[in-house]
Amino acid sequence: MPLAPDVEQRLNAWLTPAYDTDTQAEIRQLVAAGHDEALTDAFYRSLEFGTGGLRGIMGTGSNRMNRYTLGMATQGLCNYLKQSFPDQEIKVAIAHDSRNNSALFAEIVAGIFSGNGITAYLFDALRPTPELSFAIRYLGCQSGCVITASHNPKEYNGYKVYWDDGSQVVAPHDANIIAEVTKITSPDQVIFAADPSRIHVIGEEIDQAYLAEVKKLSVNPAIVARQHDLGIVYTPLHGSGIQLVPTALAEFGFTNVHVVPEQARPDGDFPTVVSPNPEEKAAMQLALDLAKAQDADLVLATDPDADRVGVGVRNTRGEWVLLNGNQTAALLTRYLLAARQAAGLARPNDFIVYTIVTSELLGDVARHYDVKSYRTLTGFKYIANLIRDLAGREHYICGGEESYGFLIGDFVRDKDAVSACALVAEMAAVAKEQGRTLYEEMQRMYAEYGLYVEDLISLTKKGQRGAEEIQEMMAALRANSPASIGGSPVVEIRDYQTGQVRDVRTGAVTETGTEASNVLQFLTEAGDKISARPSGTEPKIKFYFSVKEPLALVADYEATHRRAEAKIQRIIEEMKLK
C-alpha cells in the first residue's frame, strides 16, 4: 500500500538539506525496506501540545521526539514569548529527568532560547518537575520547560511548557503557542546557534530554597520527632526523585529511610521495570520486598520526574498492599484539614481542589471540615489555573487527582511528589503515634464517609487508525448513551466537550462551568459515576468507574469492598470494555 499523500509530503521534507545526513539516511533505509507502517506512524502528523505538552516516542520523524520537533516547538515558544513580553528581558528555567536524551534535549532547548536572546537558567543535573515549577517563580522567569515523559515507557520523551506563575500553559497560551509552532515549517527557521553568555547553570541554591518551603508544610513536627525512626522504604524508580526526596524526608526529621539500591541510580533504560510507573505493582515490587525484609512501616515511590507518588502500606493481615491515587489523595486531604484545624491553622477562606474524575470523597472530607472544594478538568494545570485565579482572595490548602498527583501549598504550581512523600510520611508517623497504620486510618475514613471504590480501564490504540478509533468510540457514546449502568438508570449526562449537563429525567440542561474538554460522564440513580476520556498525551482512551457503598463498621470493610469491586466488574462487562 503506497504512503498517504500527506505522509509522503512530510517525509520528503525531511529528505532536504534542512535535516542532517544521518536523519536522511535513516529515512531512506526505511523507504528502501518498504517499512510503510513505521513510516506512516512516524510522519502521519506533527507532535502537538496536549494536556501535558509535547510527548512521543523518540526517533526520526515529524511524529517523534527529536532535536528537530523539539527545536521547532521551542522556536515557536520563543516567538510567542517575545510577543507576550515585549520590551522585557525574558527569562526561562529548564530542567530534565533521567530519560535517555533528556540532558541532551535540555541543552538543545537552552541553546535555542539563548540564541533568541532569552536568558536560560539550566539545572546542572536532573531535577524533579515540581522544582522546575518552583524555580520559575523563584527566579522571576516568564516561562520554563522540563524534558520528561513522566511515567511512560523508556522509548518516550516529552517537553512540558510552563508559564510565569509556574503552572503548565493553559488557554489562551497553549493554543497561541501551537499557532506559533505551526508557523515553523523547517529547521532552517530555528536558531540552533547558542549564545553561551545567556545560559546560566543553576542547582544547589534552588534546591535549598525549595526544600525550605517543603519543610514549612509540616503540621506535626513534634510527633515526627518522637516517631523519627518510622521505617520508610523509598524508590525513585531510576528517576530524579533521588535528588530531593531522601533529603526532604531527612529535613522533616525521619532517620530510618532505606532507598531501594537497585533503583537508586538514574537510568533512562529503567532496567528493573517494564514501565517506571508507581501506579503499577510490578514497578513497586522491589520496594515492597525490601519493606518486608526491613519490617518497615511505609513504602514511597516516585516516577522519573518525581511529580507522582506511589504509597505502600501493610493491611490488617500484615500484607503489603498499594494505595491507589484516590485513596492517597483522600487520606492526605483528611489529614491536612484535620491537623490544621487541631493546630489552629484553619482559615475561613481555605479551599481544596480535585479533578472531575477523582473520587468525590475529597469533596465529602472538605464539607466535613467546612472547607470549600472545587472540581476542575483532568490535568494539574487546571488546578494550578484555579490557584492563580483565586490568589489573594482564597487560601489554597491542597489538591489532588486520581492519577497519583498531589500538591500541598502553592509555592509549586504542579503536582509534587517530593512534598507529598514528606507529608505521607508525617501522616504515617501521626497514625503510628496513635497506634494505627495508614491502612487502618483509611478504613476509619471510609467508615466515616462511606466506601468509595474506583477502577480504571485504559485502552491503548496506537497509530493513525488508533486515534480514529478513539474518536469513533466517543462519538458512539454520545450518539447512543446508555439508559442504565450497573442495573441503575442513568439520571445525568455531563458532556464537557459541549459544556452541557443534561438531566435525563427532566430534560433540563445546565452548564458544566469548565473549559471544553472531550470527556463524557454518566451518573446513575445509585450514585455511581462512569467517565470516558481520551488522553491528551498518549494514544489511549480511559474509562473511570466509581461506586459508593455504605459502610457502618470498619469490620465490614473487606466484604463491602469486594461487593463494590464486583459491581464495577459487572459495569465493565456490560459496557463491553473487556
Q: How far apart are CA 54 and CA 77, in angstroms?
A: 12
Q: Which distant-in-sequence residues (6+ apart) come within 8 Å of 291 by Cβ?
A: 231, 233, 298, 299, 312, 320
Angstrom distance (rounded) from CA 16 to CA 24: 8
Cβ–Cβ < 8 Å for 418, 306: yes
Chain-centre distance for alpha carbon 261 = 25
Active-site residue, 150 included: yes
Residue corresponding to grid cell 526526596: 245
Signed CA dihedral, 442, 446, 451, 454: sign only? negative
Instruction: Dihedral sign for Cα 473, 475, 480, 482, please.
Output: positive
Report the alpha-carbon distance of residue 440 to residue 424 in Å, rounded.
14
Containing H/E element for 87? none
Cβ–Cβ < 8 Å for 123, 202: yes
The DSSP code for 187 is G
Q: Which parts of 261-390 fold into alpha helices (H)?
A: 281-294, 325-342, 361-368, 380-390
Number of neighbouring beta carbons within 10 Å of residue 174: 19
How many angstroms separate the CA atoms of 373 and 154, rounded?
37
Bridging pattern class, strands 119-123 and 91-96: parallel
Are 131 and 95 in contact by the 8 Å Cβ rule? The answer is: yes
8 A C-beta contact, residue 543 and residue 575 = yes
Residues in the chain, how many? 578
Query: For residue 96, what is the enclosing H or E element?
Result: strand 91-96
Q: What is the residue type of 577?
A: L
Q: Which three cell numbers stand for residue 495?
A: 458532556
Which of the residues 62, 150, 240, 359 is marked catalytic?
Answer: 150
Q: Is 504 exposed, middle or buried (0-12, 13-18, 19+ CB in 10 A)?
A: middle
CB atoms within 10 A of CB 264: 16
- Is residue 447 a contact partner of residue 551, using CB atoms and an 8 Å limit? yes
- Which residues does residue 454 pair with via DSSP β-bridges, in sequence order? 546
Enzyme catalytic residues: 150
